[in-house]
Every structure is written in C-alpha cells, then in structure tokens.
Structure 1
Amino acid sequence: MQGTQLRSYTLALLLITNAVRVVAAQFDLANYTLINFLQDVQRQDNFEQLVFAHNRNATEIATFGAAMKVGVESELHVIKDSRNMDESQFIRDAMVDLGIPVILLSELSKDFLKQHFSAALMVVVTARFFSYNHFPDFTLEHKSFRPDLLHHGPIYPQRLGDLQGYKLSFIMGGSDPRLIVYNYNGARILGGFAGHFLTTFASKRNCTLYEPLPAPSNTRFAPARDLIAAVRNGTVEISIGLTFPQRLSFDGFTYPYEHVNWCVWSPIEPDIPNYEFFWIVFEGLTFVLTLAIIFVISLVLSCALWQHGKKPDTLHFFIHDACLRGVLGQSFREIQRAPFVVRFIYLQIYALGILLTTSYNAYFATYWTSAPKQPPLRSFDDILASSKKVYMFAPEYKELFDRAEDLRKYTPMVQVESDYHRYLSTRNAFDTKYIYMIPTTKWNIFREQQKIFTTPLFRMRHDLCLYHNIPLGFPIHSNSIFAQKLNEMILETTEFGLVEYWSQISFMDLIRAGRLKFVDLSRKNEFRPMKVEDLKLVWIGLGVMCVAMVFVFLTERCCYYRRKRKTTER
C-alpha cells in the first residue's frame, strides 16, 4: 500500500514534466491522451488516489485539462487557449474517467473541497500520509487522518525544540579566549565564550556533542581553512572556530557572534637610557636661554672691568672665565678692591650658579628615580620608521593585509611567523622585542593578567587599528536546519549579557586549564649603582675636549716656534 502511494506521488511529478509527450513519442501514438496514460499506469500499479500539487500562478494544470480529451499531436494547438479553462473541471473529469479520488492541492483547494465533495470523500482522499523524524535517528512516520488528529497537537510538529539526544557533530578550532578546552574533575570542559555557547545550545536543545575529527590535544586545533572545509564537505554540522566570512557573504555562517577590532598591542615605551639624563635636563629652549644669560653677563662684566681700567681679552666678551666658573658652581678669582658694579655682577653670578646647579641636581635626581619614557609610536608610519617589528602569524597576516591595498605599503614592518605554536609562545610570554596585532577579546585576557604585574608591559592602542568591527560567525551548512535556532540563541545570549559574562570568566577558565599562572613577568625596579655606561655622554664630552685641548696645544707650539724662527733669522 505504501509503495502504491509513493508511486502515485511520483506520477504527479511525471505529469508536471510532460511525461505524456515522452510516452507518445516513444510509441508513436497520435491519439494517445493524458487520460489514457493515467489509465495505463492505474492498470499496472493499481493506485488508489491521485494528488496534484501546483502553484496558483502555474499553467500546467490547465494544459493537462486540455490534453485529457485531445491527442498529443493536437496538444500544442490547445495550449494556446488553455488560460480560460477551469481547473476544477479537470479534476472532476479525471475522477470520472479514472474512478478514483483526485485532489488538487493549491491555495483554493480548501474551499473547492468543501463545496464539491463530502467529508467522507475527503477522508478517503487524504486518509494516509507520511512524516519523518530526524532526531535522534531518521525514522519515517505513517499517520492516518482522523477528525480528532488536530486535538493531539500539530500534524507536523516542530522537531528542533527537543533533539532527543541527537549527536550534533562539530569540530574544534580557534584560540583562547574563544575556546578553552581542559579537563576538570574528570570531565572534559569546553570553556571560553565560544565553547560555553555550544555547550549551552546542546543543553537547551537536548543534544549530544559529537566530534568526528578529534583534536590532537586540548591546545592543538586545526587551522581555520580546515575547519571550514570540514563543514563544507559534510563531515560536521558546525565549527566552533569563529571565522570571518569571505567577501562579506554570510551564506554558510551563523549570525555574527563576535565583533572585534584588530589593533596594535605595543610594549610600554621603555625608559630613556641613564646616560641621556645629563643632556635632557637642558634640552631645547632651556639650554639656549642659559647660554644667552651667560653671554650677557660675560659681556656686561667685561665692559665693567674695561671701564675701570681692567681691559679683558676679546674672548672674555663672549664667555668670561669668572662667569663660566661661577655658573658651574666653581670658584673663580676676583679683582681686588672691585667697584660696586663689578661686585654686583659677581653677586648675580653666584645667584645664577646656585639656581642652575640646584635645579640641575633636582631634575637629575628625579630622572634617576623615575625615568621618563621614550616618545610613543603614534602611527603606522612611525612603526615603519622604527626598529620595532610587528610579529604576526602567517594566515592572519595574509587575511588582514590582502583585504586592503592601502595597507600593503606597511608590509616591511611585519615579521611573519609560520609556526603557530611558536607565535603563541612568543606572544603569551610578553616578549617586548616585538609589537603584536590582537583582537579586542584577547586584550581582555592580557589586561587582567597584567593586573598582577608590578608594572604593565603592554598596552592596547585603540588609535592604531587595521580593522574595526569585524563580524565573526560559526561556519555551518548553507541550508542547515539548525541555522535559525543558532541565530536565535546568538541574539538571546547577547541580549541577556551571557556573551559578556562568558568573556569575563575566560580568565578563570585559563587558570583552571593551567595555561595561565600568577607570575609577575614585569621588570623589577630595584636600586643599582651608577655604572660606566651611565656616564657615556660625559666620557664622550671629555674625549672631545681632550682632543680639542691637544689640538690647541700643538697649534700654539707650532705658532711659537714659527715666531721664534723668524726672530732668529732677523
């Protein structure tokens, strides 16, 4: 009986594809009509019902009605006038000629059946139908239409509310804090805000997570391209590795579960080297102003001495020996019985020397206890010009830089690493040798980890981002039956704040997994004595002055011997 009904459904499809013309062409039957074809099939298979299903806007049924009483050769002429034919008349004629119930399923079927057929006939026509249940295993269900059938629930119930222990296949991928896999109290835990989402979905829908492609370990997962391939070839239903859709098409992806910014994660600017403290105290305008004051005082002092009969050398008009020594806090020789003006100038030199030396010592001590930082890198051009390299994983580098042509000019600043685990170990060790590009979700973990450091090592540069608001979704089948339920749960968990909560507890998941320890990786600010290299600029200055001194000495000796020789010759 079931085979007969299935053949009757197949017969309807054959009619829609103009199977009558095919049979007539094969046997060269000029007067072979559609009703003859149905009668032959009825004698062969003895079907008990005939069902036609079509769209209201289609014209095939009207064409069939015209072909019922007309041969195949004349059918093409009848089709031209078939738009005005009554579809209900076709159903009546088919029932009379075939002697079986025939039903036309369309938008008008309900009213048509009520007007022209009795309830008993309707029961005969649709007495049996089939359904199926995909969960937990595929089963074909046979049902009978009864007057009280609707009182027991819908004819075709919603199956996705309870999957009845269905094995939902998935593949693991990605990195923390999205997915954190670890063993806790003898059970395998899927942590991270992506892992918590999948386990919550399985719990809510009453399904069992099944991993047909097990990961080698709790920390080694397949790359992103393998995750997508496993979904596309039907090996798994869903990939837990969040991925950015290609060409901004979400076909084969869920609704975006995470929106991230890819920004620079740069080391805190290092301290200025100690040997530069001697120079940066008098940097810029302060140094120029100090030299101008020394020049003015030297000029005034030289003029005052010249006025009172003490003519100085020409060099003293620019830098007087007494002024220079006094400003540097050294002793100098004064003239005896100096006039009031000269003594007043000497007093100014004393005051200036005290102000400069005390200010210099105060700034120097402050710099030594709390050293200033080097200037920050304010743009990608600054990074390109600096000695720092941006350390990136090869697939991430290709994914980020290939999408925008204007970023390719910054490729020289990138150091690409093909080994993913070496890249992770270098980044997670807070190696300040490099600059990194990380998503904002990863920064949340590093920010919490640095709270136990004496001093933070890195900071997130929200002003230096390659991309903003990147949507990431779970790869699924293009026509997955779970797509709607997954999208609904993504919206619900985001609305209720569960995604944010799972992101916050990812730090504790990493600690339970043993991948994060309370270890201070920062530098210790301990006291240390001054070393030779701290006086680098002092030694350089001393060397330059010594060279100048020797040069001047040799020049004076040469000039002296030259004058002496000329005197002897005379």
Structure 2
Amino acid sequence: MTNSRELERKERLIRLLHRLRLEEDFNTLLVYGKDCLFHSLLEPLKIPSVIVASSGPNFDWNFSSSTLILTCEAAGEVEESPQTLQKLQRSRYLVLIAQETHPELVCKDYNLKELFNVAMVKPNFDQTDVIYSCRFFQTPNYEKVNFFENKPIYIENFQNMKGFGIRTVADSMPPRTIRYVDPNTNQLKMKGYLSHLLNTYNEKVNATLEFLNLSKKATIQDISRMAVEGVLDIATGVGSSLQHSTMDTISYPYLLTSYCLMVPKPANVPFNLVYSMIVDPVVFSIILALFWIFSVLLIFTQNLSWRGLSVSNLLFNDKSLRGLLGQSFPLRNNPNKHLKLVIFLLCFASVMITTMYEAYLQSFFARPPSEPFIRDFPDIANFSHIMSISRVEANVLTGANNVHFREINKDQLLIYDNWTEYLSLRDSLKTNFIFPVTLDRWECFEEQQKLFAKPTYYLAHNLCFTQFMFFSVPLRKYLPHRHLFEDHILRAHEFGLVKFWKARSYFEMVEAGLASLKDLSQKQKPQSLLLEDISRILKVYACAILLSICFFILEVFEYGRVFKRFCKFGRR
C-alpha cells in the first residue's frame, strides 16, 4: 500500500508540474534541499535540472530565466548574491511543506524575502488535490486552488496592489515634476511628463503614492542614494546615463535625449555696417572693370579713334560713371551706331547694378543679418557670453572626463553652487549667459519663446556635450514589480503618451505659476534710421566732396594758367 500510494503521489505531482508548464513554460528545474520527493520526479520529467543540496550566500547560480524552483524546505534559501536574488525574485516556487505547517506562515516568510510567486502542496496532495497559492495583497495571504479547477495557480500579485503604497521622492524639477496641493482634497499631487508616468502607473496597478517627508528639497544625488539604500521604491525623478554605470538601481530608459548648449541669438548687424556689407569685393571689382571697359568704348566710339584716350579720361570718365549710376549725361548730336550700341549696353548694366544694390539694401534694412554664430567650444572665448552651469552638472561632466567641457576656457565658466539660484537664472532667459540644457527641457523653452516678439535663445546642435544620453527613473534594486513599471514605460512611448505629456509641459508650468505667458524678450524700439546709422555713408560722401573740391581747384589753376598765356599772347 505504501509503494502504491507513493507512486500515486509522484504521478499526481508530475501531472501538477505538467500543468504548471502549460501555464508558463520553463526549461530548467532548480531543486533546493536534501533528498526529498521532488528528487524522484526528475528522471521521468526529463527536464534539465540543477540540484542544490545546500545553498550558499555568495554563489551565483547561472540558471535560465525560465526556471521553476522546487524546494522541500520552506524559505530555506540563504543566497545573498545580488545576481542570484534578482533571478530568484521572478522565478516561480513550488514548496512541499509538512502536513502540520500552516500556509499563511510560509507565505509570510517568503513575502518578507520579497518572493511572491510561491505555491505549496502538502504530502497528502494526491488525496486532497489542494494547492496553496500565496496572494500578497489579501487576508489571508494565500488561496486554496483545486487541481481540477480552471483557476491559475500563480498570478501577477502586483497587477492589483489594492491601495498598497509606493514610496517615492519628488525632485521638483519642472517641467518633469511639478508638485502642487489639490485645493479640493488638500492633498499633495504632482503633474509633469514624469509625474504623469507614475500617476498612470499607480492607476494601472491600483496603488497609492507615499511621499517621503524630507527636511530639504531632494537633489538627484539624494534620490539616487535613497534608491541604493532601498529607502524609496520608485523615484519621481530621473538620473542620466552620465551618473550611473549600472542599471541595478535605475529603470529602463525613459527619455533619450542630447545635452547641448542653449545660446543667445546673435544680435543684428548695425545699420551703419549694412552699406559696406552689400558691397562684395568680387562684385565691386567686376563693376570697376566694367567702368573702365565702358570708358574705353565711349572714348573710341566718339570719333572712332584713340585720340581722346588718356589716363585721366580713362580713370575718371564722368559719362561712364554717370551711366553706371543710372544718371543722364550729355551726348553729341547724331551719334553713330557704334556709340548708340555702347550707350545701350551701359544703360542695361546701370539698370542691373542699381536694381541689385537697391534690393540688397532694402532687404538688409527690413531684416538685417545677424552677427557670427559660435562654431565650436573653443570659439566661446571669442565672444562676450559666459557659460553658466550648476556645480552638480560641472561635477558630472568633469567626472565623465567630457572632452568638450575641457575645451571651454575656465574664465568663461560661471559655476553656481546653489541649484535653485541657477535654475532661476536660466528660466529668466537673460541673454548674458550660455546654459547647458537637455533636449526635452529645451522643447519647453522653445514653446515659451513662441509667445515672444523675437526668440532670444536657440539650441546649438553643434555644441553638444553628448548627442546620446538617456534618462532613467531611480528605483530600489529588488523592486518586485520592476518588470511591470518598465512595461508601462514602453507602453507609454508606444501610444504616444510621453510625447503628449511633453507637449503640455509649458502650459502645466503656467497653470502651476512656475512660468508666465509674458514676453521676456528685450523690447525693441520701432526701427528707424538715425544719424549714426548713416554715419559711414556721410563720411564717404564728405570725402568725395573734398576730392571733388580738390579737382575743381586744380582745374581752376589749370584754366588760370591758360588764361594768362592767352593774355600774354594778346599783348604781343
């Protein structure tokens, strides 16, 4: 009878293992404890198995992730290796407990070790067909499941946490996290594209957020330390890839961004420089060559001879100069056809030249070009702007040995130890400083500047400390529902929720009173020409007048000599 009952018990346990494999396939069996009933099941199952007679605190078990753990000693595992504990946490347990052992105590012991996929059977399983499955968020903390019932033995306990609290700490970094007190319930709540992620996750798993009271505003260093120490579950903040070397205490990347400089837009070129800008040296050389060519042609076609050709007539031909400037000039009666053709070409050239420069001048006056842009990091020293950065960011870039950060002259750096003061300066959008900013934060500034009469900053894509940086949410190392949270991150991206939340960031800051709809750009006076705007032209005009006076005086002296000679000749 004993052997027959033993065979019946083995047969029923084998059928149970087959059912568990149908619920969720596994390819490895891990058997804990000394020789027990489970050991005799390994040969007929023909599944790769690992037998652990006594677990050790420092040994790392490299078993497959799809593993079913069989144990004859409830909560007898003593592993302390972080890699092993993480693998055990997601694995399913089937425990053979003594007849007198109460399942509630076994579930409690496993829950304290944060192992929740636990089912138990007693030695009389072949007679009762009862499986005791642990249920964490209920009282009692287990459920009796009949082998022949169509009910799952293992469930995802954290799909419904039934109001269980998730400990969190908010970094209060708008627009990612905006803390506010709900006037209706007088409760602390959050919004922002990171806060919405946690809020929707809490709704999904039916949990509540428990904000840890801090005497001071938490920094990302404080949050990361609390995640390592296991003080919080999921942080309402993000840590960059520049700060974390492993992903043990951070989640799957939430944001993929770049880290670049936000640079003030260059001022417009003053109007007094516009006149010189429209005169390109190459074009001016071509016009000067045309002037001399037309001078030669006019001299030759006057009488179809070279008798009037001289240096002064070539270099200072008033007819050619007037023609190129679109002015009239005297011409003899009945000019020959050669002269008419030259005049026609001269008039056509004058129309083209004056129209071109008139268009340039009007366009530059209506919308003057800007001054030079910063091309690279060493080029910052050639400009009057100073780069402002927080001590936290400077330490991260220094610790990461960032090449571009080392290229910046130390005299061009203004490092703020006070994080709040630095953020206040950056949010003011004063054009005296250059600020490092992530792409997701820049999108909020870009949305704000759409309300400005003229944008004050632009994102310099050629001035990036890194083009590939991801932000992840800090969480404690052995968070049992990490996989659900990371799945929620992926689904939020898949359905476009993250993009939608980020698009609303600026207006949520306005609602919270952290931003305004005011135009923070420098108010510009109506553009009108002043005397200083035409100062260069007036100087050139004065020089030309003086030169003309000099030529006039020389001509007067020359005519005076001719008149004296004529008088002497008349006396004779």
- Give TM class, smaller chain: 0.5 to 0.7
The DSSP-based 3-state class of the residue aligned with 1:492 is helix
Match of 1:185 among 153, 164, 183: 183
Q: How does 1:348-427 map to 2 (within 5 A)?
A: 348-374=345-371, 376-380=373-377, 383=380, 385-400=382-397, 402-412=399-409, 415-418=413-416, 419-427=418-426
User: How high is the TM-score relative to the length of structure 1?
Assistant: 0.64
Q: Measure the CA separation in 2 of the matches of 1:162 and 1:389.
A: 52
> 1:240 aligns to what?
236
Aligned to 1:33: none
Once the two structures are superposed, the pairs formed by residues 228-377 of structure 1 within 5 Å of their partners are 228-245=224-241, 246=243, 248-303=245-300, 311=308, 313-329=310-326, 345=342, 348-374=345-371, 376-377=373-374
Change (3 A) 1:297 1:144: closer
d(CA) in 1 for partners of 2:331, 2:104: 127
Q: 1:388 to 1:284 in 2, by over 3 A?
A: farther
> CA–CA distance in 1 between the matches of 2:238 and 2:476?
14
Offset at residue 184 of structure 1 (A) = 4.2
TM, length-normalised to structure 2: 0.64
Residue pair 2:166, 2:207 contacting (<8 A) in 1 also:
yes
Distance in 2 of aligned mates of 1:128 and 1:435: 62
Deviations, residues 358-389 of structure 1 (Å, cap 9, x unaligned): 43333322322233344554544655554444
Provide the rounded CA distance (Å) in 2 between the counterparts of 1:168 and 1:381.
Answer: 47
**Deviation by residue 1:107-159 (Cα, 9 ceiling, x = unmatched):** 9xxxxxxxxxxxxx9635889953328999x9xxxx99686694664477565
Q: 1:226 aligns with which of 213, 218, 222?
A: 222
- Once the two structures are TM-superposed, the CA of residue 243 in structure 1 deviates from its matched residue by 0.4
The total of aligned residue pairs comes to 445
**Contact 1:184 1:512 survives alignment (8 Å):** no
1:492 maps to 491
Structure 2 CA distance, aligned partners of 1:149 and 1:360?
A: 98
CA gap 1:338/1:179 in 2 versus in 1, 3 angstroms: same
| Alignment match, 1:471 | 470
- Per the alignment, do residues 228 and 124 of structure 1 end up closer, same or farther by CA in structure 2, a change over 3 Å counting? closer
Unaligned runs of 5+ in 2: 1-32, 37-49, 56-71, 77-96, 115-119, 136-140, 143-155, 556-572
Q: Which amino acid aligns with 1:316?
A: N
Where 1:398 maps in the other structure, the secondary structure is helix
Partner of 1:251: helix, strand, or coil? coil
Shift of the 230–368 alpha-carbon distance from structure 1 to 2, 3 Å rule, reads: same
List alignment gaps of at least 5 residues for structure 1.
1-50, 61-102, 108-120, 557-570
Is the partner of 1:239 in helix, strand or coil? coil
CA distance in 1, matches of 2:522, 2:221: 39
CA distance in 1, matches of 2:98, 2:369: 91
2:435 match: 436
- Following superposition, the deviation at residue 535 of structure 1 comes to 1.3
Query: How far did residue 173 of structure 1 move?
Result: 0.9
Q: Name the stretch that deviates more: 297-306 or 255-264.
A: 297-306
Q: Which residue of structure 1 aligns with residue 447 of structure 2?
A: 448
Shift in Å, 1:467: 1.6
Q: Does residue 1:130 correspond to 2:106, yes or no? A: yes
C-alpha distance after superposition, 1:67-120 (max 9, x if no partner): xxxxxxxxxxxxxxxxxxxxxxxxxxxxxxxxxxxx77899xxxxxxxxxxxxx
Contact 2:121 2:131 in 1 (8 A): no
**Aligned residue number for residue 508 of structure 2:** 509
Contact persistence 1:135–1:165 (CA under 8 A): no
Name the SS of the counterpart of 1:438 in structure 2. strand
Instruction: Map 1:21-40 to 2 at 5 A.
Output: none
Question: Using the alignment, how far apart are the partners of 2:306 and 2:102 within structure 1?
Answer: 135
Percent of aligned pairs with the same residue? 21
Contact 1:173 1:222 in 2 (8 A): yes
Instruction: Let me know the Cα RMSD of the aligned residues.
Output: 4.5
Q: Give the match's secondary structure for 2:516.
A: coil
Superposed CA offset, 1:324-353 (max 9, x none): 244334565667887765566556545544
Q: What does residue 202 of structure 2 align with?
A: 202
Say if 1:52 and 1:105, in contact at 8 Å, map to a contact too: no
The question of whether the paired residues in 2 share the 8 Å contact of 1:274 and 1:368 is answered with: yes
For the 8 Å contact 1:455–1:522, the answer to whether it is kept is: yes
- Native 8 Å contact 1:165 1:208 kept in 2: yes
Which amino acid is 1:123 matched to?
A: Q
1:184-213 Cα distance to aligned partner (Å, 9 max, x none): 434433111211222333344444323333
- For 1:160 and 1:172, how far apart are their aligned partners in 2? 23
8 A Cα contact 2:257 2:470, kept in partner: yes
**Counterpart contact for 2:34–2:53, Cα < 8 Å:** no
AA at the equivalent of 2:173? S
Helix, strand or coil at the partner of 1:130: helix
How far is 1:530 from its partner? Answer: 0.9
8 Å CA contact retained: 1:180, 1:192: yes
Measure how far apart 1:292 and its partner are.
1.0
Deviations 1:423-477 (A, max 9, x none): 3333323333444332221132223323333444434444543323322222222
Q: Classify the secondary structure of the residue corresponding to 1:516.
A: coil
3-state DSSP class of the match of 1:182?
strand
SS of aligned partner of 2:408: helix
* Alpha-carbon distance in structure 2 between the residues aligned to 1:163 and 1:455: 51
Structure 1 pair 544–247 and aligned structure 2 pair: CA distance change class (3 A): farther
Q: Which has the higher helix share?
A: 1
For 1:428 and 1:126, locate their aligned partners in 2 and report how far apart those are by CA, in whole Å.
Answer: 61
Aligned to 1:529: 528
